[in-house]
Chain A
């Protein structure tokens, strides 16, 4: 598995609008009217027909038809962009029309009714596949749904006609005569229906299996009710072969089950809709978001995800930080959580890390991120400030620590060096004092040693003083000081420095960086030459130290360069180390210098 962070980019857009289509409302009014009239007609005709339990059959037919029609129209009104509503309304209308036409008592009507009811079953399967967004996505899904339509609407009537049989009377009511339904579904149409149905069942089961926690519930209820309905229909047809009454009883149960499907679909979509209503609430809550962290709570509330976290983009650090400015790791691919990046004006502002199931509600995410965009930008600035403050605090602590370390180093150097030599000299002087009268000759070599020791002690003190602050730097400026440093360097130095003086802190920072770099070159780089170049231009002083050594220096290792980076940062400057293995090391400091 790759370890790439997963991120969906959502550009805040306007809030999604629904129900403002131009022709939608008019068409829906017509469909309501048409559905009402067709329903009444179907009821009257079926109840008056010759089916057993005609009234019950009529009532069930009307119930299912209206259920589909009404749910479809409600969904359509709420989600104009979702074709599921129109599909369901059409299915309901076709069922009612088929039931009515099938009871007219004419042969053509029976054929039409038979085809219409079969079309209803095909559309029903289409609805199950297309739930929840109304689209039939993959090629295999399209193929299978197409096969179901072709099989039920064309092949089944043709097969029946070719066999010289009449269509089962009573259109929709045919569904309630499983014995007739069973005979109509013999031969190749049955084989195609079983194959396509099996394929669709497999696809839907797979879709449910791979669905996220949030989606599983809604999808599960719809697919279960739909699957149970179809299974009952099939069971009724099979049962009818041995017992007409048993088949019919199962058929009724199947019919009731059909009626529950549109309700399950409606409930599922309303569930999503309810979540969306929280966007309006979020907008209200954002008005009162004042304290850091309150935004996260508001987002958690709006998206219904108590595990939601917010990360803010800090461009300087090229990474995400939390509200306190601490580095933030986005979830890796494969984890339960997903990061949705939020952009404003084409710039990344933040990432909302949320439960993976929210990916199923992209419109909701988009609405929420767009509503919270400005508040996120504000909090991002806050987080960025915190991050800078943390950097500042850390560098200040390091400067203090470096100062302490420097004092310890000085004390140790004095103690181990000059002090030790002076004590030894004091003891030798005492010896000389003891010997000078009794054994003057014996005192001479001791005095010679003393003189040697004194020279060394002086050199050590000089070295130490230069380490504390080189007098040449403050007295004569950067160029002479760097020339002196270059002379002391064991690796040949090519030096280029402007003669003019710069502010003392800038000179000192550059001097110490160059000295530290030269010391590192001598110790680690195995270089044959170093080039030191100091340039002053455009209100900045830039110094670069480049060697031709082995490279591979790690600036985070060792306190020397780190402390110098802090010193440079204190002057609003930058220190950059470029040290790829085998390509030498180049250290550059860049300090504002007016």
Chain B
């Protein structure tokens, strides 16, 4: 497995209600951000099955693990988040939600024109918002 790619053991097959918790892959080049988001999402009932520090690693991981959702930072060291979205869309891979320190306004209509499921500013990331995307909404709940 290439460096910068982390795959986690599938620790829970189902939660207490008998529902299968959503599996997610996070792609961001900032390890401290990855750690914080993982803690946050796991506290809210998500299972983070993989983390990648670059766009290409993220694509490989998402294809391999087939999670329910991929959360991708727009600014990545190799290819940017929009490119990740396009490449994953061609492989009928899981839906992608883009995220950034900037707000959606900073990207004009790039998000709307992309094949991403939606966009969420990093400061707004919550399990609830991501669940909204999983249910097909294009904007955070």
Contacts and interface: CB of A to CB of B under 8 A. Distances in A.
26 contacts: A415-B102, A419-B101, A420-B30, A420-B101, A422-B123, A423-B33, A423-B101, A423-B121, A423-B122, A424-B32, A424-B33, A426-B122, A426-B123, A427-B33, A427-B36, A427-B37, A427-B40, A427-B125, A428-B36, A430-B40, A430-B126, A431-B40, A431-B43, A434-B40, A434-B43, A434-B44
A28 interface: no
A422 B30 CA distance: 14
A415 B73 CA distance: 14
A427 B123 contact: yes
B55 to A, nearest CB: 18
B109 to A, nearest CB: 21
Given A415-B102, A420-B30, A427 B44 contact: no
A436 to B, nearest CB: 12
B20 interface: no
Nearest to A427: B36
A569 B102 CA distance: 38
Q: What is the interface residue range for chain B against chain A?
A: 10 to 19
Nearest to B102: A415
Interface residues of A, number: 13
Interface in B1-52: 30, 32-33, 36-37, 39-40, 43-44
Contacts of B36: 424, 427-428, 431
Contacts of A426: 122-123
B24 to A, nearest CB: 15
Given A423-B122, A424-B32, A431 B39 contact: yes
A415 B30 CA distance: 13
A435 B39 CA distance: 11
Contacts of B37: 427
A312 to B, nearest CB: 52
A110 B96 CA distance: 124
A434 B128 CA distance: 13
Nearest to B36: A427
Contacts of A435: 43
A466 B82 CA distance: 36
Contacts of A420: 30, 33, 101
A536 to B, nearest CB: 46
A412 to B, nearest CB: 11
Contacts of A422: 123
Interface in A430-447: 430-431, 434-435
Interface of A: 415, 419-420, 422-424, 426-428, 430-431, 434-435
A420 B73 CA distance: 13
Contacts of A428: 36
A426 B39 CA distance: 13
Contact of B123 (A415, A423, A431, A434): A423
Contacts of B43: 431, 434-435
Contacts of B33: 420, 423-424, 427
Contacts of A430: 40, 126
4 cross-chain pairs, A with B, having the tightest CB-CB distances, nearest first:
A426-B123, A423-B122, A423-B123, A427-B36
A420 B29 CA distance: 12
Residue among B32, B36, B122 having the largest count of chain A Cβ atoms under 10 Å: B36
A435 B44 CA distance: 11
Nearest to B33: A424
Given A424-B32, A427-B125, A431-B39, 5 more contacts: A420-B30, A422-B123, A423-B121, A427-B40, A434-B40
Nearest to B32: A424
Contacts of A415: 101-102
B29 to A, nearest CB: 11
Interface string B47-61: 000000000000000
Contacts of B126: 430
A427 B102 contact: no
Contacts of B30: 420
A430 B128 CA distance: 12
A552 to B, nearest CB: 34
A426 B126 CA distance: 11
Given A420-B30, A434-B44, A435-B43, A427 B101 contact: no
B130 to A, nearest CB: 13
A378 to B, nearest CB: 56
Contacts of B32: 424
Contacts of B123: 422-423, 426-427
Interface in B87-141: 101-102, 121-123, 125-126
A471 B87 CA distance: 49
A431 B36 CA distance: 8
A426 B36 CA distance: 10
Contacts of B102: 415
B34 to A, nearest CB: 11
A224 B119 CA distance: 94
A428 B39 CA distance: 9
A188 B31 CA distance: 109
Residue among A420, A424, A426, A428 having the largest count of chain B Cβ atoms under 10 Å: A424
A215 to B, nearest CB: 70
B59 to A, nearest CB: 24
Nearest to A429: B123
Nearest to A453: B32
Nearest to B124: A426
Nearest to A426: B123
Contacts of B101: 415, 419-420, 423
A507 B102 CA distance: 37
Nearest to A430: B40
A438 to B, nearest CB: 9
A427 B39 CA distance: 10
Nearest to B44: A434
A427 B26 CA distance: 15
B139 to A, nearest CB: 19
Contacts of B122: 423, 426-427
Residue among B102, B123, B126 having the largest count of chain A Cβ atoms under 10 Å: B123
A254 B126 CA distance: 116
A419 B103 CA distance: 12
Residue among B40, B43, B125, B126 having the largest count of chain A Cβ atoms under 10 Å: B43
Nearest to B43: A434
B36 to A, nearest CB: 5
A506 B83 CA distance: 49
Contacts of B125: 427
Nearest to A415: B101
